Amino acid sequence: MSDFDLITIGAGPAGMSAARVAAEGGLRVLLLDEQARPGGQIYRNAGQTRDARAWLGAEYAAGARLVDALEHPGITARFGATVWRLDAGPRVVWSEGGASHSARAPHILLAGGAQERPVPFPGWTQPGVMTAGAAQILMKTAGMLPRDAVLAGSGPLLYLVAAQMIDAGAPPKALVETQTPRMMLRALPHLPKALFAARTLLKGLGLMARIRKAGVRRYTAATDLAADTETDGTIRFSFRSGGAQHSLTCALVLTHQGVIPSTHISRAAGIAHTWNAAQVAFKPVHDIWGATDRPGLYVAGDGAGIGGADAATAAGQLAALDILRSAGRISADARNQRAALPRATLFRARAIRPFLDAAYAPSAETLSPPDETIICRCEEITAGAVRQSVKEGAQGHRQIKTSLRVGMGACQGLMCDATVRGVLCDGKSACMGRIAPPRARTPIKPITLGELAALTNDCKETA
- Give the footprint of another protein on residues 23-52 (CB under 8 A): 34-36, 41
Question: CB-wise, 31 or 435, nearer to another protein?
Answer: 435
First to last CA, the chain: 13
Please say whether the beta carbons of 57 and 13 come within 8 A.
no
Q: With contacts defined by CB under 8 A, how many residues of the chain interact with another protein?
A: 76
Question: CB-wise, 62 or 130, nearer to another protein?
Answer: 130
Alpha-carbon span 413 to 409, nearest angstrom? 7
Q: Candidates 204-212, 278-286, 327-335, 390-398 — which segment interacts with another protein by CB under 8 A?
A: 390-398
Please say whether the beta carbons of 85 and 444 come within 8 A.
yes
SS3 41: coil
Alpha-carbon span 330 to 322, nearest angstrom? 9
SS3 267: helix
CA nearest neighbour of 193 among 354, 358, 361: 354
Sign of CA dihedral 269, 274, 276, 282: positive
Alpha-carbon span 418 to 242, nearest angstrom? 28
SS3 176: strand
SS3 201: helix
Alpha-carbon span 89 to 107, nearest angstrom? 9
Residues 257-316 that bind another protein (CB under 8 A): 262
One-letter amino acid at 396 equals: G
- Site membership for another protein, residue 62 (CB under 8 A): no
Rule CB under 8 A: choose which of 57, 106, 143, 384 binds another protein.
143
Cis previous bond, 90, omega within 30: yes
Rule CB under 8 A: choose which of 277, 398, 461, 462 binds another protein.
398
Question: CB-wise, 213 or 391, nearer to another protein?
Answer: 391
Question: CB-wise, 73 or 393, nearer to another protein?
Answer: 393
Rule CB under 8 A: choose which of 30, 42, 85, 176 binds another protein.
85
Rule CB under 8 A: choose which of 241, 276, 345, 403 binds another protein.
403
Rule CB under 8 A: choose which of 412, 417, 422, 427 binds another protein.
412
CB of 410: closest distance to another protein in angstroms? 4
CB of 27: closest distance to another protein in angstroms? 26
CA nearest neighbour of 150 among 209, 204, 203, 226: 226
Residues 428-457 that bind another protein (CB under 8 A): 436, 439, 441-443, 445-450, 452-453, 455-457
Rule CB under 8 A: choose which of 13, 15, 128, 153 binds another protein.
128
Residues 63-82 that bind another protein (CB under 8 A): none
Rule CB under 8 A: choose which of 293, 372, 380, 461 binds another protein.
380
Rule CB under 8 A: choose which of 3, 24, 87, 228 binds another protein.
87
